[in-house]
């Protein structure tokens, strides 16, 4: 099975995303065809390289192996990749290929956007999280001085190839981390202005068993639904001037939680789910949403095995981190809050008001 979606930001900035369960031979062929006549540098996650080196057709010379983990998305690795591109003699007509999760995609995209003022890059996401979120939409970045994604750019890939066979070897925790981002889309569907209703909330409620079994057709459909919503948002607001902020539902709290625990305790998706629990609870208390939608929402998160956060963290510290968030402005903290079924809105709170949420 194969689905092709199109990102169309402008006439010059458009690209295809292919979601498929075909064999790796097909993936190799497609990449070869797309990069014909170009020199290539392939940045690949160490885990993916160890598992799939025999399935992927690249020469040793083309490969740059990046160790796994957020801490690898740093300036040293950025420079190492740059150096390698220069050693290989890559010109502006050549191409970078990212094979891995969000870390590989983000750093490769950032190198691509800055090497010779920009060269092509192709995303081959191998985790659920990168397939439904980070590989699409052109956010590229590295972390610097303990600030996540502080150095980066908006730079769209030339193509995205999502082959769900990579998900077979994803451990359960990483799969569920991706589900955190998938679930997010269910709460924002009506803001995305997609051409028709996808009923993602209902699809995720009814399809839980098949999704957790990673049934291929269901997984392809699920990724397709999420990306239809994301593409619709990105086409309307590439640079996050307005609408795109809704993709940060659950993320204000999530980033604070990840930062306070130094990115070691929770996966990104887990943190997003805790962020969604937090804001759903608050929105219900403030009567932004009614009890029935609140219950349905909590039940949906529960269905996937997610529970509310038990650990307590110092509120002043969390608020301090939220104030430094890229989304904060003029001393106010931005939250994306649910305001009706499948709908959210942006609110800005002072630090004092935000403290009152806890
Ligand atoms: N991950 C959120 C976005 O792409 O805007």
pLDDT in tens, 41-58: 999 999 999 999 999 999
Nearest atom, ligand 1, residue 136 CA = 4
Burial of 60 (0-12, 13-18, 19+ CB in 10 A): exposed
Task: Return the best residue to mutate from 103, 248, 249, 334 for the ligand 1 pocket (most ligand atoms within 8 A of CB).
Answer: 248
Nearest atom, ligand 1, residue 248 CA = 2
Nearest atom, ligand 1, residue 181 CA = 1
Q: Which secondary-structure segment (H or E) carries 336?
A: strand 332-340
Residue 326 has pLDDT above 80, yes or no: no
**Ligand 1 pocket residues where CB is under 6 Å:** 133, 137, 139, 244, 247
Rounded to whole angstroms, the Cα distance separating 228 from 51 reads 30
Nearest atom, ligand 1, residue 137 CA = 4
Pick 325 or 130 by higher pLDDT. 130
All CATH 1.20.1090.10 domain ranges in the chain, comma separated: 174-355
The CATH number that domain 174-355 falls under is: 1.20.1090.10
Dump pLDDT digits (tens) for 66-115. 999 999 999 999 999 999 999 999 999 999 999 999 999 999 999 999 99
pLDDT at 275: 98
86: CA distance to ligand 1 center in Å?
30
Across 220-233, average pLDDT = 98
234: CA distance to ligand 1 center in Å?
9
58: CA distance to ligand 1 center in Å?
30
Cα maximum dimension of the chain: 61
Q: Percent of the chain at pLDDT above 90? A: 95
Instruction: Answer for the pair 134, 230: CB distance below 8 angstroms, yes or no.
Output: no
Tell how far CA 111 is from the center of its chain.
18
Which of the four pLDDT bands, split at 50, 70 and 90, describes residue 324? Answer: confident
146: CA distance to ligand 1 center in Å?
20
H helices of the chain, in order, are 24-34, 46-52, 75-87, 102-114, 128-129, 172-188, 200-206, 208-212, 216-236, 251-260, 268-285, 291-303, 315-324, 351-355
Dump pLDDT digits (tens) for 127-160. 999 999 999 999 999 999 878 899 999 999 999 9
Query: What pTM was estimated for this model as a whole?
Result: 0.96
230: CA distance to ligand 1 center in Å?
8
Dump pLDDT digits (tens) for 264-309. 999 999 999 999 999 999 999 999 999 999 999 999 999 999 999 9
pLDDT at 328: 67
CATH class of 2-166: alpha beta
315: CA distance to ligand 1 center in Å?
26
Q: Whose CA is nearest to atom 3 of ligand 1?
A: 247
**What is the residue-averaged pLDDT of the chain?**
96
Q: Whose CA is nearest to atom 2 of ligand 1?
A: 247
Residue 325 has pLDDT above 80, yes or no: no
pLDDT at 198: 98
All CATH 3.40.50.1970 domain ranges in the chain, comma separated: 2-166
Which of the four pLDDT bands, split at 50, 70 and 90, describes residue 331? Answer: confident
pLDDT at 53: 96
Which of the four pLDDT bands, split at 50, 70 and 90, describes residue 329? Answer: confident
133: CA distance to ligand 1 center in Å?
6
Residue 255 has pLDDT above 80, yes or no: yes
Nearest atom, ligand 1, residue 247 CA = 2
């Amino acid at each position: 099975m194969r689905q092709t979606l199109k990102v169309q930001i402008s006439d010059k900035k458009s690209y295809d995303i292919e979601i498929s369960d075909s064999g790796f031979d097909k993936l190799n062929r497609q990449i070869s065809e797309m990069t014909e006549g170009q020199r290539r540098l392939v940045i690949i996650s160490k885990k993916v390289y160890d598992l799939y080196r025999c399935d992927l057709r690249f020469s040793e010379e083309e490969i740059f192996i990046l160790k796994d983990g957020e801490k690898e998305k740093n300036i040293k690795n950025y420079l190492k990749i740059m150096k390698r591109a220069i050693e290989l003699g890559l010109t502006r007509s050549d191409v970078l290929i990212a094979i891995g999760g969000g870390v590989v995609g983000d750093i490769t995209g950032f190198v691509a956007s800055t090497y010779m003022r920009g060269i092509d890059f192709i995303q081959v996401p191998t985790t659920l999280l990168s397939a439904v979120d980070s590989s699409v939409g052109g956010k590229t970045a590295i972390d610097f001085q303990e600030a996540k994604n502080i150095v980066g750019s908006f730079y769209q890939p030339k193509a995205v190839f999502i082959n769900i066979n990579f998900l077979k070897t994803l451990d359960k925790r990483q799969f569920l981390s991706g589900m955190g981002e998938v679930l997010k889309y269910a709460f924002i569907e009506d803001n995305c202005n997609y051409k028709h209703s996808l009923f993602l909330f209902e699809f995720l409620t009814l399809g839980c068993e098949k999704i957790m079994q990673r049934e291929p057709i269901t997984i392809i459909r699920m990724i397709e639904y999420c990306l239809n919503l994301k593409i619709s948002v990105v086409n309307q607001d590439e640079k996050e001037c307005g609408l795109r902020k809704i993709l940060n539902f659950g993320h204000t709290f999530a980033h604070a939680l990840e930062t306070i625990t130094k990115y070691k305790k929770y996966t990104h998706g887990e943190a997003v789910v805790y962020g969604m629990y937090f804001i759903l609870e608050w929105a219900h208390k403030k009567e932004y949403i009614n009890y029935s939608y609140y219950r349905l929402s909590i039940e949906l998160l529960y269905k996937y095995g997610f529970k509310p956060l038990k650990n307590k963290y110092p509120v002043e510290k969390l608020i301090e981190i939220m104030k430094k968030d890229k989304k904060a402005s003029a001393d106010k903290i931005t939250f994306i809050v649910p305001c009706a079924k499948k709908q959210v809105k942006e609110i800005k709170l002072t630090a004092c008001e935000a403290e009152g949420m806890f």
